[in-house]
């Protein structure tokens, strides 16, 4: 019965864009012996009882006590192998969420991990920890920015032990800098109560919300359709067509908020890098801002940017025109814009908590080179 409840609460949050986008977030339920955790690449919005991987909790506990290689690449490969071995029989090709270890060590039956833009306005801000302590007091644990997966799980385990020693109870909320939030409870209603309280308290502190009036969004699949937005001028259309020829698909977006962000390089700074791993996976870590005004020059700068970073920029911001995305498929191009819009939201929310704070370059490099996230991206797009 609890698996059906888990699937229901997964859909509840997965279908609400205020809490989760694309393939992000994960959920779990556990008893003494088994952890049921969302399979990597599965959508919370479409969760069913088959969306979860059954994991042996004794095998997972062994992973947390095991010593792994110092090399991050060797360590993550070994941890993944052990995680796959910790699946119970009959799970086929299902691959557990990268955060399965963390779900296992949080001492509540139900655990829900989400990335709400409103909450990340706090976790991705310069004064995030200070404001979190003022808002939630001792009712939460704050985890500084750290690589997800095994390293994050180890840090959380230690912090939870310290919290319990001090307060004689378990923390039900864990805020992760530049990542998101974990909430644990004994019931689905308990999870909802925690998230409602967080969203309400943070929402009351927000001084400015992003202005998405006059929004236009067009995917490359619609370029030649009669439904093409009349505001998409010939230059925008030509840029999209060239990006589609080079990469496979493109999309375009603008709004009042975006118009303000693309006035110049200084205005673009609050959205010029990555806030969380999800943003890297879907919209990339190296958005290009260009002041070029000819189509040929814009494409040339995009190609130069690709050579410089070693990655094709998924987001191209063109001064006073709008935001373009470039990806292999229409779905991937649309997701890139969706996650960039989330970046725009977070940037606006961080203004209430001391201003924006991006992931550090070493954390960005880890995600860009992590096989786990490449798998998740491929599964989702």
Cα(238)–Cα(264) distance, rounded to whole angstroms? 22
Tens of pLDDT along 190-204? 999 999 999 999 999
The tokens describing 345, both together, are 């939201």
Tens of pLDDT along 248-305? 999 999 999 999 999 999 999 999 999 999 999 999 999 999 999 888 999 999 999 9
How is the beta sheet containing 322-327 ordered, strand by strand?
A: 216-219, 249-254, 322-327, 315-318, 288-290
Q: Any residues with CB less than 8 A from the CB of 372 and at least 6 apart, and which? A: 40, 76, 80, 98, 149
**Reported pTM:** 0.92
Tens of pLDDT along 82-120? 999 999 998 888 999 889 999 999 999 999 999 999 999
Q: Any residues with CB less than 8 A from the CB of 354 and at least 6 apart, and which? A: 125, 126, 127, 128, 130, 131
Tens of pLDDT along 214-246? 998 887 666 554 444 555 578 888 899 889 999
Strands (E), the chain: 26-30, 34-38, 52-56, 110-114, 141-143, 173-176, 180-185, 216-219, 249-254, 288-290, 315-318, 322-327
C-beta separation of 301 from 292 below 8 A = yes
Residue with tokens 């599965």: 42
Torsion over CA: 40, 183, 274, 329 (sign): positive
Tens of pLDDT along 5-60? 999 999 999 999 999 987 789 999 999 999 999 998 888 999 999 999 999 999 99
Residue with tokens 């086929």: 92
């Amino acid at each position: 019965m609890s698996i059906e409840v888990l699937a229901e609460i997964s859909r509840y949050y997965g279908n609400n864009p205020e809490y989760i986008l694309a393939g992000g977030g994960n959920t779990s339920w556990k008893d003494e012996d088994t952890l049921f955790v969302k399979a990597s690449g599965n959508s919370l919005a479409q969760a069913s009882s088959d969306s979860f991987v059954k994991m042996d909790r004794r095998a997972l506990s062994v992973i947390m006590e095991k010593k792994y290689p110092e090399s991050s690449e060797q360590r993550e490969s070994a941890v993944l192998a052990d995680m796959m071995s910790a699946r119970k029989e009959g799970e086929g090709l299902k691959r557990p969420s990268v955060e399965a270890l963390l779900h296992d060590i949080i001492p509540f039956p139900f655990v829900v991990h989400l990335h709400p833009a409103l909450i990340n306005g706090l976790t991705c801000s310069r004064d995030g920890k200070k404001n979190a302590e003022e808002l939630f007091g001792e009712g939460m644990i704050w985890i500084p920015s750290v690589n997800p997966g095994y390293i994050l799980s180890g840090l959380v385990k230690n912090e939870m032990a310290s919290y319990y020693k001090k307060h004689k109870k378990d923390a039900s909320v864990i805020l992760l800098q530049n990542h998101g939030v974990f909430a644990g409870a004994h019931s689905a209603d308990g999870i909802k109560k925690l998230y409602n309280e967080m969203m309400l308290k943070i929402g009351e502190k927000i001084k400015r919300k992003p202005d998405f009036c006059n929004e236009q969004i067009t995917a490359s699949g619609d370029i030649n359709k009669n439904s093409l937005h009349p505001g998409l001028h010939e230059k925008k259309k030509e840029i999209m067509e060239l990006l589609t020829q080079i990469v496979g698909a493109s999309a375009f977006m603008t709004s009042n908020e975006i118009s303000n962000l693309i006035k110049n390089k200084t205005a673009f700074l609050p959205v010029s890098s990555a806030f969380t791993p999800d943003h890297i996976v879907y919209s990339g870590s190296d958005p290009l801002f260009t002041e070029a005004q000819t189509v040929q020059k814009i494409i040339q700068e995009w190609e130069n940017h690709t050579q410089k970073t070693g990655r094709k920029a998924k987001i191209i911001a063109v001064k006073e025109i709008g935001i373009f995305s470039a990806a292999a498929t229409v779905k991937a191009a649309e997701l890139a814009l969706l996650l960039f819009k989330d970046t725009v939201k977070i940037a606006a929310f961080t203004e209430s908590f001391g201003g924006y704070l991006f992931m550090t370059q070493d954390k960005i490099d880890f995600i860009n080179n992590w096989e786990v996230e490449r798998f998740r991206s491929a599964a989702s797009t």
